[in-house]
Structure 1
Amino acid sequence: MRRKNIYILLMTILPWLTLPLIGRKVVKRFLPGTLFMSVYLIIEGLIAEKKKWWRFHYPVKPNVIGEFPLIIGPFFIGSLWIFKFTFGKFKIYQVINLLIDYIFIYGLLNILEKIGYVSLMKMSKFRLSLLFLVKTFFMYGFQVIYEKYFRYKSI
């Protein structure tokens, strides 16, 4: 159990160590899209828990969804990095997201299952990859709409 705690803690904290490298303007610019998708993921996690799509065996705290460390760690910071290098280049954005999703689903997810953090129940890896793909469109679309209506100055 102790080893799992260390893995989860590292998975949550290590991405945040790269935040200063992203740059303040980039964070400010892409924070709305990243926050939108983070809230979406929390809601999705609540739905997934009820529908038994997947199960997180690691209780972070009572009444906190198990995927919360993934959302606030690698997803949140990773989204800022991806937006920094690909926003405005939708095809590259999609390719990078497909690659990262593939690595997560067919690599990291196996490790997380081995350490007993998560297991897929009623959701196949293929369906999970489709769900991830849909979310990339939502996040990019939200950011495009946000920038259109709030006219953020280009970096």
Structure 2
Amino acid sequence: MKKPKLLLILLLVLPWLSFPILGRRTIIRFLPATIFISVISKILYAIGKKRRWWSFYTKVNPIISGDTAFVFGPFFLSALWILKLTYGRFPLFLIVNIIVHILFDVWGLKLLKQTRIVKLVKLNPFQHFLFLQFRALLLYSVQLLIEKIRKHKNPLLNKISQ
């Protein structure tokens, strides 16, 4: 694809087509942790940009930069889907994230570099993989904390969430 802006827009919009399929209960349950990790990710991407860990060549417009498209597109929706499918089974959560992150770092980053959207500068793919795994572990930890708070406030949620 020779139009990096179009690809970036597609990366932002296409994952949202799966949002209604998640289901209301899943969205209500996992949205707070996903929003939290997205905000943290946006902050980490700003730090990474300043430290030249990576470089985004393309942005959709002055408001929607390349990292914003990733954070609130595929990363946001993949966090919701992975939590929906694996939450409560931590080993499965880790395995799924490891597979997804390896695929992204091996083929996804290569494609994004070829299409002039983003490239790693001071990070190698393994360091980026560790960065993604850190975010995944943080996401799971935040969801655990939210679940504890919800159950502590209302023990009836114990029965509803199962």
Indicate the RMSD between aligned Cα atoms, in angstroms.
Answer: 1.5
Looking at structure 1, the residues matched to 78 and 126 of structure 2 have their Cα atoms a distance apart, in angstroms, of: 22
Tell which deviates more after alignment, 2-11 or 40-49. 2-11
Q: What aligned pairs does 1:79-98 form with structure 2 within 5 A after superposition?
A: 79-98=79-98
Q: Is 1:52–1:121's contact at 8 Å kept on the other side of the alignment?
A: yes
Relative to structure 1, the CA distance from residue 87 to residue 10 in structure 2 (aligned partners, 3 Å threshold; closer, same or farther) is same
Query: Match of 1:124?
Result: 124
TM-score by length of 1: 0.94
SS in 2 for 1:96: helix
Q: Is 1:46–1:65's contact at 8 Å kept on the other side of the alignment?
A: no
Tell which deviates more after alignment, 2-11 or 66-75. 2-11
Letter in 1 for 2:28: K
Question: What's the CA shift string for 1:35-81, capped at 9, x where partnerless?
Answer: 11100110001100110000001133336542111111111111111
Letter in 2 for 1:109: L
Looking at structure 2, the residues matched to 65 and 5 of structure 1 have their Cα atoms a distance apart, in angstroms, of: 10
Question: What's the CA shift string for 1:18-40, capped at 9, x where partnerless?
Answer: 11111011011000110111001
Q: What aligned pairs does 1:54-69 form with structure 2 within 5 A after superposition?
A: 54-62=54-62, 65-69=65-69
Looking at structure 1, the residues matched to 61 and 52 of structure 2 have their Cα atoms a distance apart, in angstroms, of: 19
Tell which deviates more after alignment, 61-70 or 21-30. 61-70
Q: Does 1:154 align with 2:161?
A: yes
Query: Match of 2:109?
Result: 109
Query: Match of 2:154?
Result: none
TM-score by length of 2: 0.90
Looking at structure 1, the residues matched to 47 and 54 of structure 2 have their Cα atoms a distance apart, in angstroms, of: 10
Q: Does 1:51 align with 2:58?
A: no
Structure 2 residue runs of 5 or longer lacking an equivalent are: 152-156
Query: Match of 2:21?
Result: 21
Query: Match of 1:32?
Result: 32
Letter in 1 for 2:161: S
Count residues with an aligned counterpart: 155
